[in-house]
Amino acid sequence: MNGKPEEIVSILKEEISQYEQKTQVSETGSVVQVGDGIATVYGLENVMYGELLEFENGVRALAMNLETGSVGCALLGPEEGIEEGDLVRRTGRRADVPAGEEMLGRVIDALGNPIDGKGPIHTTATMPIEREASGVVTRKSVTVPLQTGILAVDAMVPIGRGQRELIIGDRQTGKTSIAIDTILNQKGQDVICIYVAIGQKNSTVAKIYNSLEKGGAMEYSIILSASASEPAPVQYIAPYSGVAIAEYFMAQGKDVLIVYDDLSKHAVAYRTLSLLLRRSPGREAYPGDVFYLHSRLLERACRMAPQYGGGSITALPII
């Protein structure tokens, strides 16, 4: 390098002035035990309840149990490849799911990933999976009907936009058929429909997709599937992911119909998760907060006042 000392000094000074030290500090822990969709992690002393954690192989998990010296995590991916001693990193944020109109007509999993073989979904927005329900001031009373297309329901027990209406019955009595007929009847009504399948067979979800596709309903519908082959933590977050996507559309001032099929299997998945986390069981081995599990989910269905967007979420839970 040929140059005058003054030039070299000026270049060095310029480089030093433009140097910006970037130090990324992250709290890490190590895996103590893993199995059945649950991992016990040691060393994350400042982790928050419900925080998203990331393992070395990219699998993410939810912090569910905060104990002295260890954290119980629910894995949101395969446990294969996770070994004792692997590093676990805090992300500092809660779990979220992508949302947007690009999802209409698609079949996705509980994390918002497409599973219909039609390529990736490019969205720009994300919504938190766990979120407080809208307050009293932001809501408006239910006055606009949502037609189901079933005369007995619309005449005797009409459903309003922003309402929660339970569909209950024994096995093979047509509970899902009522929900599917309601979705098909929303054609041309400017209502976005989200069908959340929890613990269903993949063949059953395929039949529902074909029915909606044949009826021209998939153009305004989204199917979110957490099938019976998925681990309990994935089935647990499925309805919360569904209502998070619904809240995105509600914030745009749109009316949304969401079907949870069914919440009995959701309660079973949460029971499995709680027992694996060694929480105290109650009657029929269900944990004590199983009612709060569904109440906080269904309270997120409402009709918003015009100054807060004016959208609505109508929930049809099936048991």
**Rounded to an integer, what distance in angstroms lies between the CA atom of residue 72 and that of residue 185?**
44
pLDDT (0 to 100) of residue 165: 96
Q: Are 277 and 218 in contact (CB under 8 A)?
A: no
Residue 15 confidence (pLDDT): 78
Strand partners, 70: 42, 67
- Beta bridge partners, 25, equal none
Q: At which residue do the structure tokens 């500090």 appear?
A: 25
pLDDT at 195: 98
Domain ranges of the chain: 28-93, 97-317
DSSP H stretches of helix in 76-219 = 151-156, 175-184, 202-214
Q: Which residues contact 292 (CB under 8 A, 6 or more apart)?
A: none
pLDDT of residue 21: 62
Q: Which alpha helices (H) appear in the chain, and where do they start and end?
A: 5-18, 151-156, 175-184, 202-214, 232-251, 263-276, 290-298
pLDDT tens for the chain, 319 residues: list them.
555 777 787 887 887 777 766 555 578 999 999 999 999 999 988 999 999 999 999 999 999 999 988 999 999 999 888 999 999 999 999 999 999 999 999 999 999 999 999 999 999 999 999 999 999 999 999 999 999 999 999 999 999 999 999 999 999 899 999 999 999 999 999 999 999 999 999 999 999 999 999 999 999 999 999 999 999 999 999 999 999 999 999 999 999 999 999 899 999 999 999 999 999 999 999 999 999 999 999 999 999 999 999 999 999 999 9
Give the CATH H-level superfamily of domain 97-317: P-loop containing nucleotide triphosphate hydrolases (3.40.50.300)
Distance set, CA 130 to CA 109, 227, 242, 282, 296 (Å): 17, 21, 11, 24, 9
pTM, two decimal places: 0.89
pLDDT at 69: 87
Write the CATH number of the domain with boundaries 28-93.
Answer: 2.40.30.20
- Angle, alpha carbons 157-253-241 (nearest 5°): 80
258, 161 contact by CB (below 8 A): no
Give residue 227's pLDDT: 95
